[in-house]
Amino acid sequence: MLDIRLSHHVGPPSVEGMEKIAFLGLGHMGAAMAGRLLTAGFPLTVWNRTAEKAEPLVAEGATLAASPAEAVRDADVVITMLANPAALDAVADAIVPELRPGTTWVEMSTVGPDVVKELAARLGEGVTFLDAPVAGSTDKAAAGQLGILAGGDASGVEPVLAHLGTVTRTGPLGSGAALKLIVNTALLGGVAVVAETMAVADRLGIDENVARTALANGPLGGAVGRAFAEDVYFAIPLAAKDVALATKVAELPVLEAVLEQYKSAAADPAAAGADIAKAVEHIRRSV
């Protein structure tokens, strides 16, 4: 598994002030993160495009909003955890006019620094905005052990974010999104290399366990662990989205090839929508 060593630790505090939180985006990661905040005792309003995904949280005491605008209207802290820049932009159109002075918007999706800076330029006076994407999968989200890469002024919301994991201040606004893109690019590139390497092992008749053990004991050990991980979830289409964001930054021939592998896996009915471990299986079959 990917190991990020974080420099600025803030331990989970007691809830003080009982900030009203609006959480928008209840996919696999968002639902687990919102659940952590609800368990911590924060008054929580949630919204998701598919309202049914909010039902477990509502059953535990969250309030379901009918729209993004309704969700944020009375919030002290707004957290967005959405699938891609297009989804985030649609939500931003709805919530930006509703954000009151004194509100803090924590953008935790993986969308890249340019999107973050564009959003910041749209905000009115008195609204604090920071980018704080996360390192870790659904298991870490459920346990409150995410790595939170915070760009901008996170001081006002660190007591909230500490219930989700460990906060690292990465620098100015946009730096958290930039570092997350770097981290995911390395991870996804490594997983694709492991997949193709295992295809070589398949062709040469090397026992799978022997090959995996040898690779796990080498410099790709972390990528090997993630390539064959179970009970975690990083959807293949989201992986393709993240690699595509990286390839827009510079001319990256290796990552362009990696992107094509993830796109191919996302189009495979046997793998589409599954965790990236299924992309490994797809690549091994297809090369």
pLDDT value of position 44: 98
The C-alpha atoms of residue 221 and residue 8 are separated, in whole angstroms, by 26
Which pLDDT tens digit goes with each residue over 79-123? 999 999 999 999 999 999 999 999 999 999 999 999 999 999 999
CA end-to-end distance (rounded Å), the chain: 25
Q: Flag whether pLDDT at 11 surpasses 90.
A: no
Q: What is the mean pLDDT of the chain?
A: 93
Asked whether 8 and 169 are in contact (CB, 8 A), the reply is yes
Q: Flag whether pLDDT at 2 surpasses 50.
A: no
Higher pLDDT, 9 or 39: 39
E strands, the chain, where?
21-24, 44-47, 63-64, 77-80, 104-107, 128-131, 134-135, 146-151, 165-171
pLDDT value of position 208: 96
Burial of 103 (0-12, 13-18, 19+ CB in 10 A): buried
Neighbours of 253 (CB within 10 A): 8
Distance set, CA 158 to CA 5, 14, 35, 145, 216 (Å): 18, 12, 17, 14, 36
φ and ψ at 128, to 5 degrees? -90, 135
Q: What percent of the chain has pLDDT over 90?
A: 92
Asked whether 241 and 82 are in contact (CB, 8 A), the reply is no
Which pLDDT tens digit goes with each residue over 269-280? 999 899 999 999
Closest CA to 227 of 177, 255, 254, 265: 265
Kindly list the structural domains of the chain, giving each domain's residue range(s) and its CATH number in brackets, ordered by start.
Answer: 21-171 (3.40.50.720), 179-286 (1.10.1040.10)
Identity of residue 283? I
The C-alpha atoms of residue 260 and residue 287 are separated, in whole angstroms, by 12
Conformation bin of residue 25: beta by default, left when phi > 0, alpha when psi is -120 to 50: left
pLDDT value of position 17: 55
* Mean pLDDT within 220-231: 96
* Mean pLDDT within 20-34: 97
Query: Which positions are catalytic?
Result: 180
Q: Flag whether pLDDT at 286 surpasses 90.
A: yes
Q: Flag whether pLDDT at 239 surpasses 50.
A: yes
Contacts (Cβ under 8 Å, ≥6 apart) of 237? 266, 272, 273
Quote the tokens at residue 112.
């890249």
Classify strands 128-131 and 134-135 as parallel, antiparallel or unpaired: unpaired
Which pLDDT tens digit goes with each residue over 150-208? 999 999 999 999 999 999 999 999 999 999 999 999 999 999 999 999 999 999 999 99
Q: Flag whether pLDDT at 147 surpasses 80.
A: yes
Neighbours of 3 (CB within 10 A): 9
